[in-house]
Structure 1
C-alpha cells in the first residue's frame, strides 16, 4: 500500500512513497509494548488483554538452561517512542509458556517456535498514558486462511534496508519511533527455503537433530525489497485482517537473513503451541478488531526522516563473516 501526497508549486505534483516502514500515526498501535531481554536485546510484545502481553518465548527463557530465570522483567507500555522517560513501566509478575521438555536440545527447539504470555502486575488507567492501552484480537486457533500475496503488517523498532550489510561485530541501529511495514504472504518454498535451512542449522548448533516442522510457518516478504523487520522485532506480531495471526519467534535463523527481505512467522496451530493457546485463551480479551483496510488507513501520518539512535546496540547473536542484500 503506497502513500501519495500532492504538492502545489505552480503545478500539481504527485509524489508516491513506496513500501518502506512507516512511522504510524500517533496512537495507531496502542497494543504494542517493548522490553529489554537478557537473551535478545530489545523484544516486542502485543497486548491481547490490558494486562496480558504476547511475545516470543526465546526473549524470556534461557534455551541452554533448565533453571527458571527469576530476574525481574518490566515492559514499557503507553508509548510508541523509545526513551527512558517515555511510557509507563509495568512489572511482569508471571510468565506463561508451553510445557518444555527436560532434554536441552528439544527444549531449545520448542523455545524457538513458541510464544509466551507475560502477566502485568496492574492495569494502566488511560489518564496515565500518552497512548491508552488497547488489546488486539488474536487468531489463536489459526482460523484465518491467508491467501498468497495477501498483505499483512509487522510492527517493531528495527528494520534492515536494501544494501545494508551485516558485519561480524554484533551491532545494529535501533530506531526510537515504532515502525510499521506491509509484507506479502508468499510461497515458503520459493522465498523462505534459505531461511528455513539457516533455522535448521541454528537448531542443530543447539543440539536438536529432528526435522523442522514447516506446517505452522508463514513466509512473508517485502516485494519491493526495501526493508524487513529484524533485530529489535523479536516477538513482533504478524497482523492480517485486523488480527494477530503469528509471531516472529525464531531469531537464531533470522539473524543471518536480515538482508534477505523474507521472514518466517510461526502460527499457533501446531502442538504443543495449539494446546497451550487453548489453555490460556480465556485470558484473551480484545478491544480492537477492524478489517485490514480500516487499520491501514489509521496508520498514516506525515512522512519523516528515520530517527536512528546515535549509539549502536550490541550483544546479539554473533555471525561469521558478513551477508548482504545480494545474498538472496
Structure 2
C-alpha cells in the first residue's frame, strides 16, 4: 500500500468499517478491504477511558512480537487495532474438515505453545482467564441463566480446587507463571506454510486476554476447542440426531481429541516440561467449556444445539473426573498420575 499519512489511514479504516459486517460471534471484529488489501479490525471495548484502550494489547504485543508467533499490528489508536489478514488456515477449519489430522499439525502447535511459554516476561500484566460467571449470581443473572447452566454451576461448586482456577488465586512469577495467550483455541491459531522448510509455522491472533498466567490455561483452551471441533466434525455423519447418536459422536470426537492432544504434548515436551496435573487440566477445561456454553446461552436467551453439546461435555468431565484425569495422564506421557 502506498505510504499514507496517519490521519488519511485512520479515515480509510473508519470508512471501511462503516460498510463491513461484524464477524459471527465477534461483535467488535470486522474483515475489511482497504485499497484492495484485506485486513482485520478490532474495535476498543466501550466504556474504557481513551488512554486505557488497547493498553493491554500494546504491552503484550511488545513482548509477543519478539517471538515468531505474533505479527505487529498494521495500525493502532485509541479506537481500533488493525492487523493484516494472515495467509493461512485456522486450526478450527482443519479440525472440522481434515480428519484424520496429520500429527505434524498437532506437534507444530505444541512446539509453538512451548515457544510462547518460554518467552521472557518483563513486567507483564496478568492474563485474563476465560471463566464462566460462578456463584453468587445477581437477581437478573439468575433470571437470565437457563436451568441447564445453573445445574452445571452447582456441579462446579462441589470441587474445592475450583477456587484456584476461577480467579480467586492469581499467579506470580515466583509461582512459575509464564506468558500465556489465554485464548489458545483453534479459531485463533493459524497454520501458515513455512518459507524455510517443509511443514507449517503457527501465527496467533487475538492477544486481548494474554499475559502472565498458568500454562494449564492454554492447554485447557486448546483441549476444549479441539474437543468441540472434533465432535462437530462427527455430527454430519449421523443418520439420525438423538441422545444415543450424539453420545456416539461425543465418543468418536473424544477419541480424535486424545490423539491430537498427545501429539501436541510431544511437540511441547521437546523444549519444556509439562508442569501441571491432569486434575488441574480437567477442571480448567470444564471451566472453558462452561464459559462458552454460558456465553452462548445468555446471548441467545435459550439453549441451542451447540450449547447443549458444551453442557454435555462439561457434565461428562465433571461426572468422570477421575477417569478423565487418568486418560489425560496417558497422553501427557505419565503413569499413575506422576
Q: TM-score, normalised to structure 2's length?
A: 0.24
Q: What is the TM-score of this pair, normalised by structure 1?
A: 0.25
Which structure dedicates a bigger proportion of its chain to strand?
1
Q: Greater helix percent: which structure? A: 2
Structure with the bigger RCO (C-alpha within 8 Å, sep 6+) is 1
Which has more radius of gyration?
2
